[in-house]
Amino acid sequence: MCMLVCSTNGVQTAQTENDFTLTSIDGEEITLSKLKGQVVLVDFWATWCPPCRNSIPAFSRLYAKYHDQGFTVLGISSEDRSALARYRDEHNIPYPILLGTKEVFRMYQVSAIPTMFIFDKNGVQKRKQVGYAPEVEQGLVTLIDSLLKQ
């Protein structure tokens, strides 16, 4: 189920409560807690979801703008590795795409996609966003700018 936009700002959850290790479509294991010191956007998405597809160019722009400053994006999908790799290549997605598990979707209480989380440098959840619309990008720029300065 795809949704439009719903935001929860100021949610603060210790990252260790929702830590995961997932394998990327390139075979690399990525553990969320090992990204401490970076601002992290975690995006639960699917290739067949129109709002998810609409969010990817914005997340790619954010990644390009902020990656050298300590920001990263992790895309998480439960789809087939080859389909995800093909989609990544066709759309020039620069950030890691991880193979999601039911446990991780359940742990983050993802009931609709896209669902996005932002974690600060200490691994504290600062935002949960369900759905995507173009105006979301400016709010993310403001939040990421603020978190990178902390």
CATH of the domain at 92: 3.40.30.10
pLDDT score recorded for residue 4: 40
Three-state DSSP string of the chain:
CECCCEEEECCCCEHHHHCCEEEECCCCEEEHHHHCCCEEEEEECCCCCHHHHHHHHHHHHHHHHHHHHCEEEEEEECCCHHHHHHHHHHHCCCCCEEECCHHHHHHCCCCCECEEEEECCCCEEEEEEECCCCCHHHHHHHHHHHHHHC
Q: What is the pTM of this model?
A: 0.88
Q: Flag whether 74 is in a domain.
A: yes
Give the count of domains, the chain: 1
pLDDT score recorded for residue 18: 86
Q: Flag whether 6 is in a domain.
A: no
What residues make up the domain containing 108?
11-149
Q: Flag whether 22 is in a domain.
A: yes
Tell me the average confidence (pLDDT) per consecutive run of 10 residues in the chain, 150 residues long: 41 61 98 97 97 96 98 98 97 98 96 97 95 92 96
Q: Flag whether 5 is in a domain.
A: no
pLDDT score recorded for residue 8: 42
Q: Flag whether 106 is in a domain.
A: yes
